[in-house]
A and B are shown apart, each in its own frame.
Chain A
Amino acid sequence: MEIDPFIFRLSIFILSIFVGYYVVWSVTPSLHTPLMSVTNAISSVIIVGAIIAALSSNDGVIFSSSSVFGFLAIVLAAVNIFGGFLVTQRMLAMYKKKKKDK
């Protein structure tokens, strides 16, 4: 019997949880706020689904009941992607090391 592709995705999922676990523990506590904003930004990769949804209608109809939700989701995810990455960048730019004393 062939293995259901779902099992492969589940494997990726489970292993990613472990990767996430170890990676996040290595994040220095002083960067926990940027961690939250950047995880926010990357979880907006859900925009992938939003794009598929927005382009889902056939026959040249642009706004169908399913694509409208896609377009709305694109806006929301885009706010998050741009907002999340930029605000993270803004924060990280502020973390400076002590200047060497004279």
Chain B
Amino acid sequence: MLFFKSYLLPRIIQYIVVILIGTTVVFVVPRLMPTDPVQKTLELVALQGTYIDPEAVEKLRETLKELYGLKGTLFEQYIAFWKRLFKGDFGPSFAQFPTPVMDLIRISLPWTTVLLLLTTTLSWVIGNILGGLAGYFSNQRWARVLEGVAMVIRPVPYYIVALGLLIIFAFAFPIFPVGGGLSVGRELHLTLDLLLDIVRHAFLPALSLVLVGSSVWFMTMRLLVSNIVREDYVLYAQVGGISDREIVFRYTIRNALLPQITGLALSLGQIFSGALITEQVFAYPGLGTLLYNSVSRGDYNLLMGITLLSIIGIATGVLIIDLIYPLFDPRIRYR
């Protein structure tokens, strides 16, 4: 019961608050827009040259207002907005009218999810193991070399790393394709060949995400471990003659993983943002590229849909990590 009140409940409240704040921002911002999206769409239709009589225009205006959720007072709009959110209905895309936004997202989502899950896990594991070792054996030459490398990669934003890799491995030494998720004209039959093609295309985006991600985890882990090494229980284990191997894995890395799990939850949003921009660099067919397209075509509904989905997705991811956390920390499990 104490566990529920002091651990679970605050997390669930946090989950609700994140989504509430995020969605409200998404609701409010476009309504501050100086241009009216309905008017804009009507102009677009008019630009195409076909004549529509004024009555039909008025009818279209009403339909569009309804579709974009701009009907009624602000409060009514907000309620309607939430109703649609629960139904998973983000309205139609402006640019590819009338395809629902959800359909477009549905195509891109698996690409991003797989890339993101894979690279996040990989960088977390690599960064923590290397960082843990480098923190424990901080006097060794290899540890200092690793630290130097991580220190240089760590602060560089995803975009620049991705661009750098693109310049090196796609232009200077064309080993990997310049972009995309699949070779042009390839049919979607599940064969080994197709799988290899996907991997070849995903390699550079994945590499840049893992490079930056693992150096971030490396630097924090190294610092954590270099502090934990001074904890009494580690010193005592050393005095007791327990092998370095066991101390590294069962005493230092094991214990430093706890704040790193919390860290993973807190930086999930940043990691996701990084993945979006990396996808755009490599024209990888995930949410990032979809987002870029929606921006360049002024497709606000799609943009809002992606943003809302990201907020809910990230918040849920954080909640899941928070729910798993007690499994690793007995101090929370048994109060």
Do A and B make up one complex?
no
- What is B's interface to A at a CB cutoff of 8 Å? none
- What is A's interface to B at a CB cutoff of 8 Å? none
